Amino acid sequence: MRDKFLYLSSNSVFYIGVTTSKRFWWTSQRQIANQVGGRLLHIEVSMANKKEAWKDEMYGDEVREKIIEFAESGWSSIPTEERDMWFSRFKFWGVFHQRSGQESYFMMRLANTNGALTAEQLRVIGEVADEYAAGPVSNPEFGDTWIDFTTRQSIQLHWLKLEDVPAIWEKLEAVGLSSRSSGGDTMRNISGCPVAGRDKHEFVDAQPVLDEITAKLRADDDLANMPRKFNISVTGCREGCAQDSINGIGLEPARKRIDGEQTRGFNVRVGGGLGGREPRKARSLDVFVRPENAYAVVRGFVELYFEHGDRENRQKNRSRFFVDDWGTAKIRERLQESYVNWELRDEGENLRDEYTYNAGAAPEEGKHDHIGVHEQADGDYYVGLSVPIGRLTAGETIQLADLADEYGSGAMRLTRRQNPLILDIPESNLDSVLDSPILEVHSPEPSVFTRGAMACTGSEFCSLALTETKARMAVMLRWLQSNVNMPDDVEQVKIHYSGCTADCGQAMTADIGFHGMRARKDGEMVEALDVGVGGGIGDDPSFVEWIRQRVPADEVPGLVSNLLTAFAETRTDGQTFRQWVGATGKDDLTEFAEPEETDYQDPCLHDAKQSWYPFADKEGPAPTAADGTPLATESDDWRHRRSDHRRH
C-alpha cells in the first residue's frame, strides 16, 4: 500500500508524496463545499492489482502518443511480454485488441454522447469501415465490412490494423468524431434520450446537461483513471429511454415545488449496473437538482467514486458495489460535506409511472423504443429504423447517411437498442424516406422478433465471450419469424443475447435473455445458452429469472418456440410477455421452455471458441503485417501453441 496526498485550494493543487513509479499530478480545479482554504485529499491504492500499477505508470490522454508510436513502428514493436499491459492502456482510446488467434487485429469504439451524429460523420465512418475494416475472412451473414451499433449509443469497427489507427483517427477527427474515453477504466459514452431537444412530449431538455458533462467531465484527463468503467445517463423524456436504472449515476426527469413554483429538473439515482450475474438497480440518492446544478452533482459523485472506490478487487469494484458498501445516506452526506457548495434538496416527484421504454408494457401505454415514424416538437418527423442486432454493412452505412442528408437536416441519433434515427424530416419528405430501398432491409415497421433483438459482439471478436452471438441471432430470428405465430396485439418480444455473463448485450433486462455457455452433447463440446425470462426496465426494473441452463444452441429456437406458444395460449387478453411471466410460476415457465431440436440449422454449434474465428475453415493468418501478410515466425509460434493446447 502506498499513499498519495493532495492539497486542493480554490485555484491550485499541490502534490505531497510520491507513488512507486512517478509523481501523480492532479491539476483539476474542483468545487469544494464551503472550504475557502481548500482540503487535503488522501487516496490509498494497493499495488496488488497489476492493472492499477499499469494505469499508475501511464493512462488517459498520454497513451495516445504511445499508440501512434507503436503504429508507426508496427505490431512487432510491442514487446511480447508487455502486450497485456499496453492493450489494457489502449482501451482508454477505444482501441481494443481482438481475441486470441486474431493477434495484430484491433477493434475501435467511438464515443458520441447521446448517440448524436451527423450524416457527414456517419458517411466517414462507413468509408473508414470500407477502407480499413475488411478482415482476412468473411462473415457468412454480413460479408466483409460493417459497423456495429452498441447498447450505449456508439459505434464499433473491427479488423483494424494498428498501423492504420493514426490515419483512421485523422479521418474521424476531421469531422468531429473521437474514440477517446470509450473503453477501459474510465467514464464511458454518456447515454441519454436520442431525441433530446426534439421530443414532442419531452418533460425537460437534457441536451445542455449532456453537453456540459461531456465538455467538462469526460474531457478531464485528471479523472481518466477510474477504479472501473463508469456509466452516466441523463434523460428528460417521459419514456425513460436512457435506462437510468442500470447506470452508475442516472438523472431522471422530476418536478419539485421550490419557493412556491413548480420547478422541472432531475432526481438522482446511483449504483445501477449489469454483469457477473450480480445486477443492481440504481438507487435513489434523495436529491433533486435543477438543470443548472446537475453537472456539479454528477461530477461530485464521479470524484467521490474516483477517490474512494475499491482499486484492489476488480470483481467487486464497480460503482454498484461502492453504493452497496457506503449506502446512499452516507454518499449523500459526503456529497453535501465535500463536493457541492449549496444545500442539496430532497428528491422531487418523478415520472417513473410513465416509463415505457424497454418496460414490457402494452403498446397503448406508450412507445417502448424509437422505431417507426414520430412527430417532433417542431412539426418535423424522425424515423427510427430497425437494424437487427445492430450490424450495418459499410455500404448501407453510407446509404443511410445519404438519406439523412437528402431528406432531413443531416442530424442523426443512435439508440440504446442498437438502432439509428434520421431526424428533422419535413412531412413532405416522409414518403421519399419510407420508399428508400434501405428501408426494405432495415424497416421502421419490423417483425415482432427483429424489433426486440439485441446482441453483443460475441466470440467472433471478444476474448471473454463463450459463444458466437450475432450470426446465430440473425439465423434464429429468421427461423422464429417463419415458425412462430404471435398474437396480433403483441408488437415486440425483447430477445437479448450476451456471449458471457458480463452482459454487454443486456440479457438481464430482456423478455427472453441468453447468456453464452458451453455444454456437451453427444460426447462433443458445443456452444450452449442459459435462458432467462421476465426482465425489463420501466418504472419497476427487474432482471430475468434463469429457467434453463446450458441448453445446446441448436435446441434454443425450439425452446423459445415452445415458450412463446404457451404464452400465446395461456395469456389473458392484452397481457404482455413480461406481465405473463410475472403471473406464471417458475416451475410452469421451466416446463413450457422445453429444449427441442428442430429444422433450425445453427451456424457454429461446434466451435465453442476452438478456432481463431467461428466461421473459418482454415488456419488463421495472425499475426499479420500492415498489409495483411502473415508474420511467419509469430504465426507459426501461435499455431504450435494452439496445437499443444488442443492436445492437452
The residues that are catalytic are: 109, 228-229, 499, 504-505
C-alpha dihedral (120, 124, 127, 132), degrees to nearest 10: -170
Angstrom distance (rounded) from CA 438 to CA 417: 19
Parallel, antiparallel or unpaired: strands 495-498 and 512-521: parallel
Task: Name residue, grid cell 496526498.
Answer: 5
Q: Are 495 and 510 in contact (CB under 8 A)?
A: yes
Degrees to nearest 5, angle at CA 440 with 413 and 450: 70
Q: Are 532 and 507 in contact (CB under 8 A)?
A: yes
Cell numbers linked to 249 = 449515476
H/E run at residue 349: strand 349-350
Angstrom distance (rounded) from CA 8 to CA 240: 38
Strands in 372-375's sheet, in edge-to-edge order, are: 116-118, 411-414, 420-425, 381-384, 372-375
Nearest of 529, 530, 533 to residue 553 by alpha carbon: 529
Cα(first)–Cα(last) distance of the chain, in Å?
39
Q: How many CB atoms lie within 10 A of CB 236?
A: 28
Parallel, antiparallel or unpaired: strands 105-109 and 95-97: antiparallel
What number of CA atoms fall less than 13 Å from residue 541's CA on the CB side? 21
Q: Are 260 and 128 in contact (CB under 8 A)?
A: no
Kindly give the residue spans of alpha helices, DSSP state H, lying in 46-92.
50-57, 63-73, 83-90
360: left (phi over 0), alpha (psi -120 to 50) or beta: left
DSSP code string of 403-456: HHHHHS-SEEEE-TTS-EEEEEE-GGGHHHHHTSTHHHHS-SS--HHHHTEEE-
H/E run at residue 299: helix 291-308
Angstrom distance (rounded) from CA 93 to CA 194: 24
Nearest of 207, 204, 108 to residue 165 by alpha carbon: 108
Q: Are 29 and 36 in contact (CB under 8 A)?
A: no
Q: Which amino acid is at 405?
A: D
Q: What 3 state SS string does 373-401 have?
A: EEEECCCCEEEECCCHHHEEEHHHHHHHH
Q: Are 557 and 599 in contact (CB under 8 A)?
A: no
Q: Which amino acid is at 534?
A: G
Task: Name residue, grid cell 474465428.
Answer: 613
Residue-level length of the chain: 648
Task: Name residue, grid cell 460523420.
Answer: 121
DSSP code string of 93-104: GTEEE--TT-TT
The 3-state DSSP class for residue 532 equals: strand
